[in-house]
Structure 1
Amino acid sequence: MRITTLLALLLLSAIGLRAQIPTGGTPPSLTSEKQNLFPDLQDQRRSLPDLDLQKVLDEDAQGPGIRFAAPLAVDFRPDNAGTWTDLPNGDRVWRLYVRSRAAKALIAFYRDLSLPAGAELYMYAPDGQQVLGPYTAADITAEGRLMTGLLYGDEAVIEYLEPAAVRGQGYFRIDRIDHAYKPVARSEQTAGRDFGFGASLDCHIGADCELADPVADLKGSSCRIIVVVEEGSGYCTGNLINNTAEDGTPYIYTGFHCMDGYTPIFGLWRFDFQYRVAGCAPAVNEPLYYSLTGSTFRAGRRENDFLLLELDQEVPSNFSPHYLGWNRQAPPPDTSYMFHHPRGDVQKISRSTIQGSIFGGPIFWNNDVTTPRDHHYDVDFTEGNYEVGSSGAALLNKKGQMVGHLNGGNPDLEGCEFSQAWFGRLGLAWTGGGTPDTRLMDWLDPLGTDAMELGGLADSQPQVVTGTILTYFEKTPVGGVEVTLDLDGNSLKVTSAADGTFIFNNVGAANTYTLSFSKNTTASNGVSGADIIAIQRHILSLTDLTGPYRLLAADVNLSGSISALDIIAMRRVILAIETEFGPGIRSWTFLPDDFSFSDPEDPWNPAPPVSISSGNIADLQDVQVLAIKLGDVNDSVDGNK
């Protein structure tokens, strides 16, 4: 009997890129106070070459996948396109306005990318209704590449902010823009969209629903993959998987057909974790997710339809990762579960309570690939479903072990009543084609134990330390802060980004973890005659400075009190007679946001802490730090100067 069926195939599609930890920002040209500084770009809009849609559709009819976006070759650089605008503070902004006629959405690809400290990159709709970014140096791959998008519509503005202190140090080249020629989903209320948030069938079951309770701890293993190939971009589902060393090596197991017939660019593949809706109610707003970009091919084989990648960076513990256990000699499961991302939508779950079987014949797929007999489990889902984009999802037995991955089948695309699925067998992929790059055993059993099964590993990664630094009054971000993490005498250092955030990855074990902060830039930043008047009135008991933070800011010579000596030091800085408030005095000071003053009117007694310490690294995740710029009592400081 000849079986011809459909792959649960990656759909070459357009997608929305976010920073590793989703953040929001506003491009300088869209801020109300700076908009009038920027010229209108309408006359300088660059039209991209027209997409040969018929050619693309002809290729789709003959190719192994259903594309969603096709690439257009471009060559845009700050030195050959776009417009520079100098800002009054010495910063400068480069903007490029592009249009690809009739595109449903756009994705931009960059190479040779170098973003100096404080530099930011944005991509946004000309009307400002959709803004992506800021992207910083932390988002660039090891090869100096970046992908921004998807941006709905056929027009986009790309904006680069370069601070005065690093003028001329940034560089990048936009070498490709993907033109989405089929609809993309923005929300579940948007009809007629094929991929993205809310695009999957309404009958799918959310991953936080009660159905998932028996395997709820395993949700952190599944991720949405944004597949990037030379021919376009698309969605699949991947799974973190454990190995016998149990060292948290970030292996991702997915389907070979997610890139079969295309030219993959593994270094740009993006992996979205925790992309699911809390609770079981229908989603209204798209949830945030955590992303990592970049991977390396380790092994794969068409006959087994398996692909094993290793992420180019560790998975931070605040992603709540789980590394799946596995069983390579398991019989077909009598109860099975699957977490997946149908059509690139939020995470869903499917379950079968019907005894599975081994499919005894070959399978002839619709991309002219044939997989041998006995290579698949045959599973009929009793709850939930799957669609394109679910490809690669792990088949879990009732012990929570991975025994296979979704290759394809016959889904019910009307109402999730009955869906038959075929899963590539992990046990056969173990030896695969007999070489390290065509089998699993070398990677999942690096210790050579010949283990038949292995338990899962939760949160096995070296821990992370994260936080945000904001000004004490307006809570505006402070970038350029040198943050030091001391681990029992060993120090790590990072610099806070322009949005005030900082992160230490791969933090090892220690008895005590201590964070300290330092920034010593222009002492006159935020200091003016208005501050001097306010401090004079306080000294004369005419109008008190309110709050402990303002009192600390007024004590510019760090004497533990406020006096005429502080005013003298401020005047000398304002008049450029001195560049600092006193010998060795740094212009910023910091303290934990949750510090409670014994006497807010006397914040020097006892002295506030200058560092944050804990024996539990979990206490140093999402730390909130307040920054005080000496001399600034009316919060006029620019936190990124």
Structure 2
Amino acid sequence: MLLTASLTLRAQKASFSFKDQPSQKTFSITTTRLSEKIDSLQDYTRIGVFGIFQEMDLSNDNAHYAQVGNRELLAWHISHPHVSSRIYAFVEDLSPQDTLYVYDRNGKLQEARHTANLIGNRHTFSPVSGEQFIQLSKNKDSRARLSLYGLSLEPLSPKKSKGFDFRDSGPCQVNVNCQEGTDYTDIKNSVVRILVKLGPALGFCTGSVIGTTNYSYVPYLLTAEHCGIISQGNYVSPADLNSWTFYFNYEAPSCETPPSEGNLGGNQITGAQLLANSNDNGGDFGSDFFLLRLNSSIPPSFNAYYIGWNRKGDDIPLKGATIHHPNGDIKKISIYTSAATSGSYDGSVSGTHWLVNWIGTANGFGTTEAGSSGAPLYDEDGLLRGVLTGGAASCSSPNGEDYFGKFSYSWESNGTVPERRLREWLDPVNTGFLAVNGSYFGDSLPSTRNDIQIVNNPASDGVLKIENLGAPSDNLQVLVSDYSGKVVYNQKTVAVPGSRKEIDTGKWRNGLYIVIVLRNSEVITRKVFIRN
């Protein structure tokens, strides 16, 4: 099929009367055989490619400008006939009174962003077909600046007006909020859809927000290495990683798939940095892991669950599930009831992967697809045991096996340096724990003893007081982390019954902190508010 798309960017009056659109700047591109070009990129990456990234350069300097009272309105008109597109933007100095709007060709509002729901400086807008209008409404004295640095080119599906993401998984897949997901109501909140950028190629993967032994709530995300591989063994660039978009809570609210996407994709963070990877060409001779740190802290409103894990290599997962985003669709769940078997993805190194077979359930026969890559494998305890590399399972071949890179192998078997292992990142204080339970930010986790008390909560006057550190111990460690996961206090101490520890908080910012006490084989956490 020959598809010609001409992109014309014109300044647009702030009133959004589409009848009169004076041309002040034109950015045009002719894309022929878009589908064929996308197909050609399938060999450029190890993931399913659904679109092409097109650079552009629009900012306040070339916007249509209008002033209404003490408000300034800046607008851009972007025309992309026969193509669905999502805009990549960099936002600076947005004040609480400033708002970004996206309208479709009919003037219908598609998205609105302001400081309360815009996390970090980078943002990826929802896909719009045909043409769209971007508007920045700001106070006259605001220094807000918007840079539109790229957009996606995605063929329109003949069945819907959007690109290949929402409602595009196979018919066998099961929504996570069906009865099959009853035991995963917390766990599902750790699963994230990833919009991946690899040079000109755009695709989807799945990842998990993952916890640490000291419950520091650093925004770590675990996915598959092959999601970040481009041709000839090269890896995603730091610049491209800054445009990866992570969607939280992208799921149907019930077992039924909603007729339209609506605001399901509203909880997002754009940008991450690579901390460690298996360096095995995406599972060819290792466990295919990619550990990222998001560029922004995860806001409490996202209700993210930090998944727990089990790194015991000889502990075979007996039954469980995976939760994933097949073809970039809303969260789905697949179930296995027979014990996983140990093997490898291509046979060159043994014992790197868990192999599982899925079963049919009440609402379908959940398998995996492109876009599921990086999805977590859960065991019977709901702990993460692996990350999806690939396999033969599909809606047309539901009995095929899927391969998950072992978490236990990723812990320290892909190399001897922190950049090749999970150990140093997920056990930063070297507890040696073999398993960790999942939790929400600030949960007070179960402990065999309830003998750590915060005397003054909220803590004021620049002092945090922790009382009664329990039975005598000469190997007790007290840590305090802030909302971003940064450890602001870390000290070993000797505990005696009835003792009190006073910590100077005079230079700390006001807000929520997590007190973490490590004692032998247990971790005790407490939430505390600092109000200096």
Alignment TM-score, normalising by the size of structure 2 = 0.71
1:109 pairs, out of 88, 111, 118, with 88
In structure 1, how many angstroms separate the alpha carbons of the residues matched to 2:351 and 2:433? 22
**2:210 maps to 1:241:** yes
Return closer, same or farther for 1:350/1:505 CA change in 2, 3 Å cut-off: farther
Q: Who is 1:128 aligned against?
A: 107
Paired amino acid for 2:169: S
Return closer, same or farther for 1:413/1:172 CA change in 2, 3 Å cut-off: same
**RMSD of the alignment, in Å?**
3.4
SS across alignment from 2:41: helix
1:427 pairs, out of 386, 404, 408, with 408
| C-alpha contact (below 8 Å) 1:45/1:99 kept by paired residues | no
Paired amino acid for 2:391: G
**2:295 maps to 1:327:** no
| C-alpha contact (below 8 Å) 2:119/2:269 kept by paired residues | no
Return closer, same or farther for 1:505/1:385 CA change in 2, 3 Å cut-off: farther
Comparing 92-101 with 279-288, greater Cα deviation is found at 279-288
Return closer, same or farther for 1:77/1:215 CA change in 2, 3 Å cut-off: closer
Q: Who is 1:171 aligned against?
A: 145
C-alpha displacement of 1:401: 1.4
In structure 1, how many angstroms separate the alpha carbons of the residues matched to 2:510 and 2:170? 38
C-alpha displacement of 1:488: 5.7
Comparing 92-101 with 333-342, greater Cα deviation is found at 92-101
Q: Who is 2:74 aligned against?
A: 94
Write out per-residue CA displacement over residues 485-527 of structure 1, whole angstroms, 9 at most, x where no aligned residue.
x956589xxxxxxxxxxxx9962479xxxxxxxxxxxxxxxxx
In structure 2, how many angstroms separate the alpha carbons of the residues matched to 1:323 and 1:428? 20
2:438 pairs, out of 447, 452, 456, with 456
Return closer, same or farther for 1:90/1:216 CA change in 2, 3 Å cut-off: closer
| C-alpha contact (below 8 Å) 2:48/2:204 kept by paired residues | no
| C-alpha contact (below 8 Å) 2:38/2:50 kept by paired residues | no
SS across alignment from 1:392: coil
Write out per-residue CA displacement over residues 115-141 of structure 1, whole angstroms, 9 at most, x where no aligned residue.
344222223223213522234486263
C-alpha displacement of 1:328: 1.6
1:263 pairs, out of 236, 251, 276, with 236
Return closer, same or farther for 1:68/1:130 CA change in 2, 3 Å cut-off: farther
C-alpha displacement of 1:201: 1.8
Q: Who is 2:325 aligned against?
A: 341
| C-alpha contact (below 8 Å) 1:429/1:440 kept by paired residues | yes
**2:268 maps to 1:284:** no
C-alpha displacement of 1:194: 6.6
Paired amino acid for 2:259: V
Q: Who is 1:315 aligned against?
A: 298
| C-alpha contact (below 8 Å) 1:207/1:276 kept by paired residues | yes
SS across alignment from 1:60: helix
Write out per-residue CA displacement over residues 168-205 of structure 1, whole angstroms, 9 at most, x where no aligned residue.
x233332322222x3369xxxx4697732211122211
Paired amino acid for 1:263: V
Write out per-residue CA displacement over residues 17-46 of structure 1, whole angstroms, 9 at most, x where no aligned residue.
xxxxxxxxxxx978xxx567x982165573
Q: Who is 1:507 aligned against?
A: 512
Write out per-residue CA displacement over residues 416-449 of structure 1, whole angstroms, 9 at most, x where no aligned residue.
7424200001111111222111110101111212
In structure 2, how many angstroms separate the alpha carbons of the residues matched to 1:192 and 1:164? 37
Q: Who is 2:467 aligned against?
A: none
| C-alpha contact (below 8 Å) 1:361/1:374 kept by paired residues | no
**2:265 maps to 1:293:** no
C-alpha displacement of 1:59: 3.7
| C-alpha contact (below 8 Å) 1:45/1:98 kept by paired residues | no
In structure 2, how many angstroms separate the alpha carbons of the residues matched to 1:156 and 1:329? 51
In structure 2, how many angstroms separate the alpha carbons of the residues matched to 1:505 and 1:279? 38
SS across alignment from 2:31: coil
Write out per-residue CA displacement over residues 276-330 of structure 1, whole angstroms, 9 at most, x where no aligned residue.
2233234334363522333222111242210111223333333332222212224
| C-alpha contact (below 8 Å) 1:314/1:506 kept by paired residues | no
C-alpha displacement of 1:409: 0.4
Q: Who is 1:602 aligned against?
A: none
Paired amino acid for 2:136: Y
Alignment TM-score, normalising by the size of structure 1 = 0.60
Return closer, same or farther for 1:147/1:281 CA change in 2, 3 Å cut-off: closer
| C-alpha contact (below 8 Å) 2:195/2:246 kept by paired residues | yes
Paired amino acid for 2:316: P
Return closer, same or farther for 1:86/1:429 CA change in 2, 3 Å cut-off: same
| C-alpha contact (below 8 Å) 1:337/1:352 kept by paired residues | yes
Q: Who is 2:288 aligned against?
A: 305
Return closer, same or farther for 1:137/1:412 CA change in 2, 3 Å cut-off: closer
Q: Who is 1:40 aligned against?
A: 20
Return closer, same or farther for 1:114/1:317 CA change in 2, 3 Å cut-off: closer
Write out per-residue CA displacement over residues 96-151 of structure 1, whole angstroms, 9 at most, x where no aligned residue.
21223542x1222234734344222223223213522234486263xx43332322
| C-alpha contact (below 8 Å) 2:513/2:528 kept by paired residues | no
| C-alpha contact (below 8 Å) 1:46/1:99 kept by paired residues | no
In structure 1, how many angstroms separate the alpha carbons of the residues matched to 2:177 and 2:326? 15
Number of residue pairs the alignment of both structures matches: 426
Comparing 325-334 with 51-60, greater Cα deviation is found at 51-60
In structure 2, how many angstroms separate the alpha carbons of the residues matched to 1:115 and 1:146? 13
Return closer, same or farther for 1:52/1:412 CA change in 2, 3 Å cut-off: same
- Give the helix-richer structure, 1 or 2: 1
1:183 pairs, out of 151, 156, 180, with 156
Return closer, same or farther for 1:267/1:137 CA change in 2, 3 Å cut-off: farther
| C-alpha contact (below 8 Å) 1:229/1:263 kept by paired residues | yes
Return closer, same or farther for 1:175/1:360 CA change in 2, 3 Å cut-off: closer
**2:252 maps to 1:273:** no
C-alpha displacement of 1:245: 0.9
In structure 2, how many angstroms separate the alpha carbons of the residues matched to 1:40 and 1:194? 29
Q: Who is 1:377 aligned against?
A: 354
| C-alpha contact (below 8 Å) 2:127/2:162 kept by paired residues | no
Q: Who is 2:29 aligned against?
A: 49
| C-alpha contact (below 8 Å) 2:459/2:528 kept by paired residues | no
Return closer, same or farther for 1:259/1:134 CA change in 2, 3 Å cut-off: same
Structure 2 runs not aligned, ≥5 long? 1-11, 281-286, 361-365, 445-456, 463-508, 516-526
| C-alpha contact (below 8 Å) 2:102/2:111 kept by paired residues | yes
| C-alpha contact (below 8 Å) 1:123/1:133 kept by paired residues | yes
Return closer, same or farther for 1:71/1:285 CA change in 2, 3 Å cut-off: closer
Return closer, same or farther for 1:119/1:279 CA change in 2, 3 Å cut-off: closer
Larger Rg: 1
C-alpha displacement of 1:379: 0.6
- Give the strand-richer structure, 1 or 2: 2
In structure 1, how many angstroms separate the alpha carbons of the residues matched to 2:514 and 2:38? 54
SS across alignment from 1:442: helix
In structure 1, how many angstroms separate the alpha carbons of the residues matched to 2:267 and 2:394? 31
* Equivalent runs, 1:441-590 vs 2, <5 Å: 441-460=423-442, 507-508=512-513
In structure 2, how many angstroms separate the alpha carbons of the residues matched to 1:84 and 1:352? 57
In structure 2, how many angstroms separate the alpha carbons of the residues matched to 1:47 and 1:196? 27
**2:187 maps to 1:218:** yes
| C-alpha contact (below 8 Å) 2:276/2:290 kept by paired residues | yes
| C-alpha contact (below 8 Å) 1:272/1:290 kept by paired residues | yes
SS across alignment from 1:387: coil
Paired amino acid for 1:233: L
In structure 2, how many angstroms separate the alpha carbons of the residues matched to 1:427 and 1:236? 22
Return closer, same or farther for 1:505/1:387 CA change in 2, 3 Å cut-off: farther
Indicate the percent of aligned positions where both proteins have the same amino acid. Answer: 24
Paired amino acid for 2:74: W
